[in-house]
Amino acid sequence: MAFIRLPWRLYRDAANWVPPLISERKRFLDRRRNAFFAHAEAEYFLAWRGRTPVGRITAHVDHRFNEFQNNRWGMFGFFECERDPATAGALLEAAEQWLRARGRDRLIGPFDFSTNHECGLLVEGFEYRPQILENWHHPYYRELLEAHGLVKAMDLYKWEILRSNYDKVYPVIGELAERVGREHGVYLRPLRKRQLASEVRKFMEIYNEAWSHNWGFVPLTDAELDQMARELRPVLDVDFAKAAEHEGQVVGVSLSLLDFNQVLAGLNGRLLPLGWAKALLARRRINEIRVFALGVKPAFQHTGTAAALYNDVWQTCLQRGIERAETGWILEVNEPMNRAMEALAGRIVKRYRIYERRFEPGAAPAFPGAAG
C-alpha cells in the first residue's frame, strides 16, 4: 500500500493528476492475479527517508517480450520520485543491479509493465489532464532521468481531434469510407458485448497481426486476453467498438473508450462508500473519448477499411455529442498512422518518451548521488 499510495503525496498539489482506483492497482501489481507474471518477473522498490516513502520504481524482465523481440532488455516502470537527484539515483541503481543480475543489457522504460499497458514518461503536454489508461508526470521527472544518463529511445505521440474541426477533415476519408463496401465487400458492425471474450480475441488477432512489426511490441497471451476482456466490460460502449468484416471474417477493428478519468478525478481512488453514486452521475457528463486502438490486417490496409473505421469514430462522436478525442499513443516512426491523424484534422498534444541506459559490460552502476 505504501508503494501504491505514494503518488497521492507527490501529486497532492498537481491539479491535472488523476488518482487511480486503489483496488485496481492492487490487482494489477499482484503477481498472483496479473496474467503478465506468467511470463515475467519483477521487483518493486521503495525509497524511504526515515519513515516516509519518497520514491518508487519497478525492475522487470518480460521473458516473452525478450523472446519475441530477440533482445535482452531489462525494463523499469512505475517511476515516481520527489525532486531529489539522490533519491532518483538510488532507485535507478537498485533497478539496474537487479536487472544486471538477470543478464539484461540495458535499463529501458518506463513501462507499466509493457507496451500493452501504460508506458512512457510525459515530456510535453503537462497542461492536459490524462485520459483513461494514461499517466501524468511531474515535469521534473525528465530532469531526474536525464541527469542519471538515461537517453531517448523512442517518443510516443498522442493526437487531439476536436469536433469543432470536423470541416477540416480531408474529404478523401469520407470518399474511401463510402466506397469500401461496394468495391471491397468490407462492412462495419458493432462488437457484441454479450460475446465479449470471443470478440476481444478477434480484436487481438488483428492487433497481433497489424502491430507485430512495431517497435516494442509483444503479443498478449490467452490469459492476458481474458483479463483484458474482464477489465474492458465495465467501460465498453458498443457505439465506439466496431469490427470491419469481409465475407464473415474480421479484418479490422476500432475500439474507443469513454474517458472515465473524468469520473475518477472525483473519487480519490475509492468507489466505496459513495464512489459508485458519484461515478454514475459523472458518467453522464463524459464528453471525451480515447481512441484506444484501431488496426487493419495488412491485406486490407489499402482498401479504405481504416478510413471507414476513422469515419465511423467521427460520425459517432457527432451523434453522441463528444467534443474531443485523443488517440492512443502512436510511435513517432509510424509515418502512415501519423499522416492519417493529420488527415483527420488532428494535432499532437502530448509526447511520452521511452528512455534507456545501456549497460557497459562488467561496469558497475554509476548514478551520481545515489549512495545512501
| CB-based contacts of 372, cutoff 8 Å, min separation 6 | 86, 90
Inter-helix orientation angle 2-10/22-29, to 10°? 130
CA atoms of 48 and 56, how far apart (whole Å)? 9
Q: For residue 325, give the nearest of 345, 296, 352 by alpha carbon.
A: 345
**Are 2-156+353-358 and 161-351 equal in CATH topology?**
yes
The predicted structure's pLDDT at residue 372: 47
In CATH terms, the fold of domain 161-351 is Aminopeptidase (3.40.630)
- Stretches where the chain sits below pLDDT 50 are 371-372
DSSP string, 294-357: EEE-GGGTTTTHHHHHHHHHHHHHHHHT--EEEEPPEETT-HHHHHHHHHTT-EEEEEEEEEEE
| Joined grid coordinates for residue 340 | 492519417
Residue ranges per structural domain of the chain: 2-156+353-358, 161-351
Architecture of 2-156+353-358 per CATH?
Answer: 3-Layer(aba) Sandwich (3.40)
Whether this prediction's pTM lies above 0.85 is answered by yes
Q: Do residues 291 and 325 touch, judged by C-beta distance below 8 A?
A: yes
Could you tell me how many residues make up the chain? 372
The predicted structure's pLDDT at residue 89: 97
Q: Do residues 192 and 185 touch, judged by C-beta distance below 8 A?
A: no
Query: What does the pLDDT look like over 14-25, one tens digit per residue?
Result: 999 999 999 999
DSSP string, 247-262: TTEEEEEEEEEE-THH
Q: Are strands 106-109 and 73-81 parallel, antiparallel or unpaired?
A: parallel
